[in-house]
Structure 1
Amino acid sequence: YLLHHEVIPNADDFVSALHACARLNETGLALSLCLRDKKGVPHAAKASVDYQRTLVKDMGLALPGIMHRDHIKYIQLHDAEATGVIASTVTRFLHPDNPCIVLNESDDRIKISARGTKSLIARGLDLAEVLRVAAETVGGRGGGHSIASGAAIPKTGDAADIFLATADSLVGEQLREEPRDEP
């Protein structure tokens, strides 16, 4: 689509620039684009390139570290920026038969992104429930949608291992249930 009155007329490029600005905490720059300030376009282009570099770097670190349990694939990272993109990429293109859970350790907690596929959802997968229950097991919080969810858990002791074991068990239980029609 073309946005004839915007400073970035290609809709995909415009959305990508806004997304990059948001991820890089350049909210003022994103606002300037929305207000049609042409002076922000070169800075937004740089932000888009910087964010793409971050994605490539994070993917390069993540892909060799894909691990598995009985029913899930998972990756453990430190201070990564693109955990949702990583989980989506692994689930969609590399391992579509298993949901992918990415654990991202930061200063004070572990943030988690999980992604599934439509075919897994049709078989009974509900990642919102999996992440909610697994996170609560270790004193964290989680939820979201059946196909894409997130959580945050404390960075203490063996919380990550307990979370993963619980999530793996829950996914196994869900996928053993009778298949259901997609909504």
Structure 2
Amino acid sequence: MDEAVQLPPNLLMRFKKAAEAVEKATSVRVISHNDADGICSASIICSMLFRKCKQFQCSMVKGFDENFVRGSVEGHDLLIISDMGSNNLDVLESLGIAVVVLDHHKPERDSDRTVHCNPHIFGIDGATEGCASSLALLLAVTVSESNWDLSGASFGGIVGDRQHLRGMAGINAYLLQGASKRKMIEERPGQIITDGPLRDALYATTEPFIVGVSGDRQGVDRLLADARVLDNLPYDSLEEEEKVRLNSLIVLRLLEQGVGLANLEELLSNRYYSPDRKVYSKDVANAVNACGKSENQGVGLAMLMGDVKASERAWKLKDEFQKQLLANCIAVNDRGLLHAENFQYFVSPDIDVSSETCGTMMQWVGDQTKPTVSLAHKGGEVRISSRANRHIVDHLGIDLGAALKEATAKVGGSGGGHNIASGGRIPLGKEDAFLKELDRALGEQKREKTYAAK
């Protein structure tokens, strides 16, 4: 970076207050989300507390549960809640202990009765410029400069939250600057194909999902033959001419299946490498996400904190999860997406990978001008995931978090999240009513954007 990245002074002061709360505490309760960002942030917080010789207990959960939070803080004098909490401030303010909130979801208000660390309050976009792992690392390095070595976990969360796709900005850029200076993170050029033997990498790829290649051994062989690449070498070992031919064919395939240029640019976004861990942040994110999805979030936490056996288990879970995701993407693609006026949707055969499949369909298969929504049945409820892209958000005026919050509430459910990605749940049997309400809410957002532009 050519110029030093600066953060707002009032944001830094808020983190100093959070650091003071950590210093004063004797026993800390940590609660975080169980996705990649949440688990990475939890590992940073726990490592920081361990180094300060603080007693602590950590839980990684699916979402904010008032009864769980109230019951879990007994016997502790500080709660650090990460990747959630900004929209539950009334509850947190009433707990009777000190509370630090590290959340990047858009809040309804600020709080002077907690140490509320949310980037939106300081004019920084929590959807693209700072996630829970960013906030956790900023807190950790505020507590002690020695905690910059936790950058690998932070960038795993940043990449897991897909905040790297158009370059680092805001808090993320500040942390990249600091981590790069200390040689904790290396920024490297992106590449279309992941590392490993080409045939296996192309067969397993869901980012990008290449129709007729992903999950198709014969399709892989045809693609490599057309590119005149005969050896099953890792991508990095190919001759430059072979790379150009293969990349060109893949890009043509993706353009043919309707992928936009913006998504192709995101595919080549810079990668972030941890020299200490000798691993790319994307692989860390995928491994930790697989742990969370399989309800092995403790394995992910232990891996990030340096446990060798946990690391071995996490990488196995990552490979198993990728196979599961690939199978679900193929099934959904074969069935085709269903279309409402203002969005496209599908019913996910596999609930465990429904949100990731939703992202894959949005980015590589579906109509690039409509948000993608997945519905997955579990017990007596339906889990909802939704994804958009920057064009849909910036130019069409779509806010999926607001739309899902409204549409789920109308049918007796709950939901919300970011403008570009959100989720929720509704009662079983309310699917048609929900889809109608969501279509109406999204249509209103588009009309408001149109009127505002006139």
Scaled to the shorter chain, the TM-score interval is 0.7 to 0.9
Superimposed CA distance per residue, residues 4-35 of structure 1 (whole angstroms, 9 cap, x where no aligned partner):
333x5333322322222122122232233123
RMSD between aligned residues: 2.0
1:130 paired residue among 383, 400, 403 = 403
Amino acid at match of 1:82: V
Amino acid at match of 2:359: S
Whether contact under 8 Å (2:329, 2:361) holds in the other structure is no
1:115 paired residue among 381, 384, 387 = 387
Q: Quote the residue 2:298 is aligned against.
A: 28
Whether contact under 8 Å (2:328, 2:349) holds in the other structure is no
Superimposed CA distance per residue, residues 58-93 of structure 1 (whole angstroms, 9 cap, x where no aligned partner):
212222241011111011134421222222222222
Q: TM-score, normalised by structure 2?
A: 0.37
Q: Quote the residue 1:152 is aligned against.
A: 425
Q: Which consecutive residues of structure 1, in runs of 5 or more, have no partner in the other structure?
A: none
| Structure with more contact order per residue of length (Cα contacts < 8 Å, sep ≥ 6) | 1
Q: Which consecutive residues of structure 2, in runs of 5 or more, have no partner in the other structure?
A: 1-271
2:373 paired residue among 95, 98, 101 = 101
SS at 2:286 equivalent: helix
CA distance in structure 2 between the aligned counterparts of 1:32 and 1:113, rounded to whole angstroms = 28
Q: Quote the residue 1:175 is aligned against.
A: 446
Whether contact under 8 Å (2:381, 2:428) holds in the other structure is yes
Identity within the alignment, % = 28
**Which piece of structure 1 moves more, 138-147 or 74-83?**
74-83
Superimposed CA distance per residue, residues 114-153 of structure 1 (whole angstroms, 9 cap, x where no aligned partner):
1112111122111112111111111111111111111110
Q: Quote the residue 2:355 is aligned against.
A: 84
Amino acid at match of 2:413: G
Amino acid at match of 1:42: E
Whether contact under 8 Å (1:120, 1:175) holds in the other structure is no
Whether contact under 8 Å (2:354, 2:385) holds in the other structure is yes
Paired residue total: 178
Whether contact under 8 Å (1:65, 1:76) holds in the other structure is no
Amino acid at match of 1:145: H
Whether contact under 8 Å (2:328, 2:350) holds in the other structure is no
Larger radius of gyration: 2
Q: Quote the residue 2:332 is aligned against.
A: 62
1:73 paired residue among 318, 334, 344 = 344
Amino acid at match of 1:100: T
Q: Quote the residue 1:141 is aligned against.
A: 414
Q: 1:110 to 1:38 in 2, by over 3 A?
A: same
